[in-house]
Amino acid sequence: MKHRKPREILPPLKEWGRNFRVALVYPNAYRIGMANLGIHMLYSRINGLDGFLADRFFMESHGHKPPLSIERFMPLREYDCVAFSLHFEPDYPAVIKTLELASIKSRTNDRTDADPFIIAGGPSISANPEPLADFLDCVFIGEFEEGGDELLECLRNLTCMGTPGDSAFAELARLPHVYVPSLVQFQFDGRKIASFTSHRDHILPIQAARPFLAGIEPPSTAIYTDDAEFSDMRLVEFTRGCRGSCRFCLSGNTTGPFRVFDPDLLVKSSTQLAQRRKIGVVGELFAGHPGLLDVIKRIIESGGRPSFSSIRLEFLSDDILKLIVDSGIKSLTLAPETGSEKLACAINKPLSIEKLLTVSEKAAAAGIENLRLYLMAGIPGEDESDIELMLDMAHKVHKAFIFNGSRTRLGHLTLSVNPFIPKPWTPFQWAGMANPEYISAVFNLLKSRLKGISNLELRTASPDESMWEAVLSRADRRSGMLIETASKIGWRPALKNQINDSFPAVDYALVRREESEIFPWEVVFHGSRRELLWREFKRALDNL
Ligand code: SF4
């Protein structure tokens, strides 16, 4: 793949020679990475620290060549620290591939003190750092604003003093929110974990960092480019966490408590309109911000045009719908997940078909042209009648939205159906994923039953790819070999060929776990005790 220099508006570069150099690596496409506020936050935060610089790397920038930084075309191994930002489990093989292309040994044990520190952070690896345990020197658990600077200071001191590997790891292990996999040993019993122990300085579990947001500058677009998704707007983070407690949701269960950024700081950040007038409001539950209407009003008064992402149904008041419409947005995304009340109770995401239809009608009447519904297939306990209810709901929404009498033009309805994936730190961490054959059969049924309906589009995720994600979500460190193979020959053949000593890798995804099973991700802690999660899982099953 050819190296294509993106068109960007960058802050001035820091001097190479005098700083501790951090390579921020997003192991995915530039276009996707630059739409992620995490990269922008890390970039401006690290470059704002005295004595540190950060440059960016994206997977597609280097293809099969040694990776070079976007900013100054420097090779990866010239940096003091390589920091991977990991948001999705399927990106894990790219970590290994990136290191190997940079002539850096991928396994921690094979590296020397002359190599950069290899670290990672981000939602998926924070939830379960174990699949990449053999490859990472340490993992930052949680949100970087609390404890991230201390980690960088520590890495710089260790580099300046030339502290050798084992002593360096012991130093890192004393920091809050930092997990050092090489200081932890696991004992296995067939597929299960018998126990794990850690070095005396490394006290487990590692608590995830969840800072109070009062006084913290809201993350916002730091680098403008025309080559990324949402490139026409300045993204600003309004809220973190979620008040919902949906039992399947990684984000809702690992980013709590719900927190909001200071309204004045939001207005200040959102009214820097020199580059973009459109303001992308970011936050899973942005509509839950108590000062939202006032902040939006002030942004509009300053000449900004707010734009909104997917929204939770129960927060879609008339005021907020009006805001969305007034902002000029033509698309609305809602995530009912299922058309079945039984499954809605099981996943703990209340469903009101009546409200969904009312919102669909109001959205159509207000001029929204595209409505997207997110749904799941393979929720534990699902049967044919639940799929029928999903179809029934789709027909009703289609009628309410597309053929609304007050419309001037026909609308477009998209159903995005993804397989249910059991995630760590959620009550459904004990559940097995439905096998891909079942998911394919559901998708085929949906396709045949929705075929030919005007202005309705069905989008389905790949069942196999979802299973791969599920494997990596709940894997332990024995999956390292699988990920390594996937980095060389691709995940499909790797998964097909790989049988662990005592079980096939797909068992990580498909097998329902026992109540007392020790999980690899229990080396970290995201705030919900196992007893609470188990109780919620039992409640879910009681609804089925
Ligand atoms: S699914 Fe949405 S509403 Fe539910 S917990 Fe997750 S982010 Fe919150």
410 phi-psi bin (left φ>0, alpha ψ -120 to 50, beta other): beta
pLDDT tens, residue by residue, 346-403: 999 988 899 999 989 988 888 889 999 999 999 999 999 999 999 999 999 999 999 7
In angstroms, what is the span from residue 539 Cα to ligand 1's centroid? Answer: 18
pTM for the predicted model, two decimal places:
0.94
| Closest residue CA from atom 3 of ligand 1 | 244
Q: Which of 243, 249, 285 to mutate to test the pocket of ligand 1 (most atoms within 8 A of CB)?
A: 249
Distance of CA 463 from the midpoint of ligand 1 (Å): 22
Q: Could you tell me the distance, in angstroms and rounded to a whole number, from the CA of residue 470 to the centre of ligand 1?
A: 19
CA of 13 to the centre of ligand 1 (A): 38
Q: For a pLDDT cut of 90, what percent of the chain falls above it?
A: 75
Are β-strands 81-85 and 52-58 bridged in parallel, bridged antiparallel, or unpaired? Answer: unpaired
What is the DSSP-derived secondary structure letter of residue 75? B
pLDDT at 2: 47
CATH number reported for the structural domain that contains residue 258 in this entry = 3.30.750
Q: How far is the CA of 316 from the centre of ligand 1 (A)?
A: 14
Span 240-250, average pLDDT:
92
> Quick check: is 20 in a domain?
yes
pLDDT reported for residue 317: 78
Place of tokens 């950060």: 54
Q: Which whole number is the average pLDDT over 300-304?
A: 90
- Give the integer Cα–Cα distance in Å for 78 and 65: 15
| Residue 497: CB atoms within 10 Å | 11
- Residues near 49 by Cβ (< 8 Å), separated by ≥ 6? 149, 152
Last residue of a domain, one of 142, 173, 207: 207
Characterize the bridge pairing of strands 184-189 and 192-198. Answer: antiparallel
The residue from 172, 191, 207 where one domain ends is 207
Residue 496: φ, ψ to 5°:
-65, -40
For residues 259-277, average pLDDT: 92
- In angstroms, the CA 199 to CA 196 distance is 11
Using CA atoms, how far apart are residues 298 and 214, in angstroms rounded to an integer?
Answer: 20
Report the nearest atom of ligand 1 relative to the CA of 252. 5
DSSP string covering 303-343? T-EEEE----GGG--HHHHHHHHHTT--EEEEEEE-S-HHH
Mean pLDDT of the chain: 92
The answer to whether residues 240 and 168 belong to one domain is no
Containing 12, the helix (H) or strand (E) segment is none
Asked, for residue 530, whether it belongs to a domain, the answer is no
In angstroms, the CA 388 to CA 372 distance is 19
pLDDT number for residue 352: 87
**Pocket residue to mutate for ligand 1, from 251, 345, 418, 536, most atoms within 8 A of Cβ:** 251
User: What are 474's two structure tokens?
Assistant: 């709940």
Residue 64 pLDDT greater than 80, yes or no: no
Six-digit token string for 109: 């044990």
Tokens of 144: 């970087």
Q: Quick one: average pLDDT of 298-312?
A: 84
Angle at 203 between CA 476 and CA 109, to 5 degrees: 50
For residue 225, is it within any domain?
A: yes
In whole angstroms, what is the distance from residue 269 CA to residue 194 CA?
A: 50
Q: How do residues 174-226 score in pLDDT, each as one tens digit? A: 999 999 999 999 999 999 999 999 988 899 999 999 999 999 999 999 999 98
Tell which residue, 328, 315, 310, 321, has the closest CA to residue 373: 310
Tell which atom from ligand 1 comes closest to the C-alpha of 250.
Answer: 6
How big is the CA angle at 144 (ends 126 and 8), to the nearest 5 degrees? 105
Nearest 5°: phi and psi at 524? -120, 170
Cα of 244 vs centre of ligand 1, distance in Å, is: 5
- Based on the fold, state whether residues 201 and 73 are members of the same structural domain: yes
Judge whether residue 312 has pLDDT over 80.
no
Is 237 in the same domain as 255?
Answer: yes
Domain that holds residue 188: 8-207
Confidence of residue 5 (pLDDT cuts 50, 70, 90): low
Quote the ligand 1 centre to 308 CA distance (angstroms). 16
CATH number of the domain that residue 186 is part of: 3.40.50.2300
| Phi, psi at 306, each rounded to 5° | -70, 150
Q: How close is the Cα of 376 to the center of ligand 1, in Å?
A: 13
Cα separation, 524 vs 206, in Å, equals 4
Ligand 1 atom at shortest distance from the alpha carbon of 337? 1
Other C-beta atoms closer than 10 Å to the C-beta of 195 total 10
The verdict on 184 and 103 lying in the same domain is yes
Q: Pairing mode, if any, of strands 259-260 and 239-240?
A: antiparallel
Calculate how far, in angstroms, residue 253's C-alpha sits from the geometric centre of ligand 1: 8
pLDDT bin (cut points 50, 70, 90) of residue 1 is very low
Instruction: Tell whether 202 and 240 lie within a shared domain.
Output: no
Report residues whose beta carbon is within 6 angstroms of any ligand 1 atom: 242, 244, 246, 249, 251-252, 284, 312, 349
* Residue nearest atom 6 of ligand 1, based on CA coordinates: 252
Count Cβ neighbours within 10 Å for each residue of 17-30 and write b for 16 or more, e otherwise: eebbbbbbbbbbbb
**Is residue 89 in a domain?**
yes
DSSP 157-222: HHHHHT--HHHHHHHHHTSTTEE-GGGEEEEEETTEEEEEEE-TTSPSSEEPB----TTPPPPB--
pLDDT in tens, 270-299: 998 778 889 999 998 888 899 998 999 899
pLDDT tier at 435 (50, 70, 90 boundaries)? very high
CA 389 to chain centre: 29
To test ligand 1's pocket by mutation, which of 248, 258, 259, 284 has the most ligand atoms within 8 angstroms of CB?
Answer: 284
Chosen domain end from 282, 305, 328: 305
378-393 per-residue burial string, b: 16 or more CB within 10 A, e: under 16:
bbbebeeebbebbbeb
Q: Distance of CA 417 to CAs 27, 377, 483, Å?
A: 25, 7, 27
Measured from the CA of 243, which atom of ligand 1 is nearest? 8
Joined tokens for residue 335 = 């995530």
**Whether residue 102 is found in the same domain as residue 232:** no
Distance 243 CA to ligand 1 centre (A): 8
Residue 119 lies in a domain: yes
Reported as half-sphere exposure (CB side, CA atoms, 13 A), residue 37 has a value of: 20
Q: Could you tell me which residues are beta bridge partners of residue 206?
A: 524
Whole-angstrom Cα Rg for the chain:
24
Amino acid letter, 140: F
Same domain, 202 and 292: no
Are residues 235 and 202 both part of a single domain?
Answer: no
State whether 202 and 215 are in the same domain: no
Q: Is residue 512 part of a domain?
A: no
The reply to whether 222 and 184 lie within a common domain is no
**Cα dist. 393→86, 319, 349, 375, 418 in Å?**
35, 25, 16, 11, 17
Which of 114-118, 236-240, 273-277, 337-341 is the least confident region? Answer: 273-277
Q: How many domains does the chain have?
A: 2
Give the range with max mean pLDDT: 59-63, 405-409, 474-478. Answer: 474-478
Residue 494 neighbours by CB under 8 Å, 6+ apart: 482, 485, 486, 488
Residues 198 and 293 in one domain: no
pLDDT exceeding 70 applies to what percent of the chain? 96
Does residue 61 or residue 541 have the better pLDDT? Answer: 541
How far is it, in rounded angstroms, from Cα 463 to Cα 9? 39
**Structure tokens given for 473:** 């979500």
